Amino acid sequence: MVDKEEKERRKLIDRKFGARAELAAVLASVYPQSAEREFKRYLKKYSKELVAIIDRAEHNIASGKPKKAVLRRVKNEIGKISDKYKPVREIGKIATMVEGIEEAQFRKSFKKTIGIDMPEFDKDTFADERGDWLVGTLTTIGLYLLSINNKIDSASGSSKEEYAKAMSKIKKESAEIGDIARNRVGDLMAGINKKMYNMFGIKRYVWRTRRDRKVRECHKSFDGHIFSTDNPPEIWYETKHGRVYTGRHCNPGEDYNCRCRAIPLFTKDAVWTILTREKWKKEL
C-alpha cells in the first residue's frame, strides 16, 4: 500500500518530469580541484627530494668522487623515498577526499534537481574503486621512480657532456612528478561516478567541459552533447594530415588529464532507485 508520503513524492516527481522521459541535473558538478591540489602538494615532496638527491650526486661527481659509486648511492636513496612519505596512508587520504567530494556533489545535484533529499552513501560503497585506484596510483609513482633510476643507470656510462645533458633531463622530469596528480584524480572521479550511475540505472549524461583555454579540441566538440555511459565517444586529435581517431572511447574524466564532467540525465526509474536505498545493491 502506498503511504501518504510516497504519494506526495510521486506527485512531486511527476511535476518535475512533466512529459519528459529524462531530466538533466540542474546543478553542474565540478572537477575536484582541491583534491588535485592536495595531491600535487604531496607529490612536490617527492620532486624536491629527487632534485636534491641528483644535485648532491652532481656535486659529488664534480668534486672527484667515482661516478658509478655516487649513482649507485642515488638509486638507493630514491628507493627509500616512498617509505619516507607513507604513500598508502597519505594517498589514501586523497582518495577519501575525492570520494567525499563526488558523493556530496551528487547528493546536492539530486536535491537541486528533484527537490528531495536522497539517502546517504555507506562508507564502503566505493571501497573497491578506492582500493583499485590506490594500487594503480602507487604503481604509477613506482614506475615513475623506476624510470628515473633506469635513466640514471644509462647516464652512468656516458661521456661527461652526455652525462650532464642526461642528468639535466632527469632533474626536469623529477620536478614534473606532480603532473601525475590530475590524471589520477580524474581516473578516481570517473570510477566513482561510473559506480553511482550503475547503481542507480543512469544510462545517459551530458558532456560538460571546464570551458576554458585548456580544453582540448576533441573534448570541446563533445561539450553539451548527450552520450551513453556504455558507449562513450571516441577520442581523436588533429594533425597536419587531418583528424586521427585513437580507438579509445572515454567518459568524462577517463581520458588523460581530463577535467570534464558528466551531467546525469535522470529517469523516473533512476530517481526511485536513488530514493529506495534497498534497491542500490540489487542494481549492481
Helix 33-62 / helix 67-84 crossing angle, nearest 10 deg: 160
In angstroms, the CA 201 to CA 55 distance is 54
> What would the pLDDT profile of 98-139 be if each residue is shown by its tens digit?
999 999 999 999 999 999 999 999 888 999 999 999 999 999
Please indicate, yes or no, if residue 237 is contained in any of the structural domains.
Answer: no
Please indicate, yes or no, if residue 163 is contained in any of the structural domains.
Answer: yes
Question: What pLDDT, on the 0 to 100 scale, is given for residue 160?
Answer: 74
Please indicate, yes or no, if residue 223 is contained in any of the structural domains.
Answer: no
Please indicate, yes or no, if residue 279 is contained in any of the structural domains.
Answer: no
State yes or no: pLDDT of 27 exceeds 90: no
> What would the pLDDT profile of 41-94 be if each residue is shown by its tens digit?
999 888 888 888 888 888 888 888 887 788 888 888 888 887 888 888 999 999
Q: What is the CA radius of gyration of the chain?
A: 24
State yes or no: pLDDT of 284 exceeds 60: no
Residue 28: pLDDT band (50, 70, 90) is: low
Please indicate, yes or no, if residue 185 is contained in any of the structural domains.
Answer: yes
Name the 3-class secondary structure at 242.
strand
> What would the pLDDT profile of 219-263 be if each residue is shown by its tens digit?
999 999 999 999 999 999 999 999 999 999 999 999 998 999 999
State yes or no: pLDDT of 32 exceeds 80: yes
Please indicate, yes or no, if residue 192 is contained in any of the structural domains.
Answer: yes
What's the pTM value of the predicted model, to 2 decimals? 0.85
Residue 100: CB atoms within 10 A of its CB come to 13
Q: How far is CA 176 from CA 16, 39, 40, 44, 198, in A?
A: 48, 13, 10, 9, 35
Say how many domains are in the chain.
1
Question: What pLDDT, on the 0 to 100 scale, is given for residue 111?
Answer: 95
Residue 1: pLDDT band (50, 70, 90) is: very low
> What would the pLDDT profile of 201-217 be if each residue is shown by its tens digit?
999 999 999 989 999 99
State yes or no: pLDDT of 282 exceeds 60: no
> What would the pLDDT profile of 154-191 be if each residue is shown by its tens digit?
877 667 778 778 888 888 888 788 888 989 999 999 99
Beta bridge partners, 204, equal 228
Please indicate, yes or no, if residue 172 is contained in any of the structural domains.
Answer: yes
Please indicate, yes or no, if residue 43 is contained in any of the structural domains.
Answer: yes
Q: Mean pLDDT score of the chain, rounded to an integer?
A: 88
**Residue 136: domain span:** 27-202
State yes or no: pLDDT of 281 exceeds 80: no
- Mapped to the 3 state alphabet, what secondary structure does 2-47 carry? CCHHHHHHHHHHHHHHCCCCCEECCCCCCCCHHHHHHHHHHHHHHH
Question: What pLDDT, on the 0 to 100 scale, is given for residue 69?
Answer: 86
53 vs 28: which has the higher pLDDT: 53
